[in-house]
Amino acid sequence: MENIKRLGILGGSFDPPHEAHLAMARKACNAFKLDKVMFIPCHQNPLKDITGHASPYHRVTMCQLATLVEDDFPVTPLEVIRGGISFTIDTLKDLKKTGAELHLLLGLDSYLTIGEWKDADLYPKYCKLIVFTRDGDFEDKVVPAKIRKITQFITGFDMPISSTDIRKMVRSGKKIERLVTPLVDVYIKKYELYKHFRDQNRLIDDPIKKFFLRGV
């Protein structure tokens, strides 16, 4: 984390990570001169059911593969190692200790519900927001005023790709190579992720888990 003054944070389930995630990171770097955008797969999203999803360690591995050729997009298993339900405020507190200026990347849907997030009123103390919208035409009065004051927007972002749709496509036997990076596509096939609607919240081989633990 040395020499990183402006750090972007892109959190989420990444189940799986896809091209829109990478596009968000690239645009944020260019528009706001971020030094890095850190991908942070959650352990468990407080708002989502994990049935039929890939395990946390599968998702961390896929993020590593998706960003393999992207020097400015590090991946951390911080939330996975912490375990339990992942709350963004806890991660912001941890990363603030690095001394970097934090910029949290969000899609519009997430932004419009941020008032319901744990300790959202503390966000101005820890970060600024970068919100991606399709056309900039939306009503944000539901967002607390103190949050609106720390928010910057990137408009014209129109990549209607969702991890939910990708999982459904895999389950129905459709190809996804244009939606994810080649290595992620191969990985999903190798481990037969999302092929069946079952609980895949199991750990993969211990050596892979130990690799990430060693890298923390």
- Please give the C-alpha separations between residue 65 and each of 25, 119, 198, in angstroms, as whole numbers: 15, 32, 24
pLDDT digits (tens, 9 = 90+) for 27-75: 999 999 999 999 999 999 887 766 668 999 999 999 999 999 999 999 9
Can you give the residue ranges of every domain in the chain?
A: 6-214
Under 8 Å between Cβ of 86 and 45: yes
- Which pLDDT score, from 0 to 100, does residue 110 have? 95
pLDDT at 215: 41
The correct CATH number of 6-214 out of 3.40.50.620, 3.50.50.60, 3.40.50.2000, 3.90.1150.10 is 3.40.50.620
The pLDDT value given to residue 52:
64
Residue 167 CB contacts under 8 Å (≥ 6 apart), including other chains: 15, 16, 52, 53, 194
Integer CA distances (angstroms), 215 to 38, 63, 68, 142, in order: 15, 15, 16, 40
What is the structure's pLDDT at 137? 75
pLDDT of residue 51: 60
Residues of the chain with pLDDT under 70: 1-2, 49-52, 197-216
CA–CA separation, 146 and 28 (whole Å) = 22
Helix 206-214 to helix 56-66 angle, to the nearest 10 degrees?
60
What's the distance, CA 40 to chain centroid?
Answer: 5
State the pLDDT at residue 214.
42
pTM of the predicted model, to two decimals?
Answer: 0.90
Coil, strand, or helix at residue 147?
helix
State the Cα–Cα distance between residues 87 and 202, nearest whole angstrom: 21
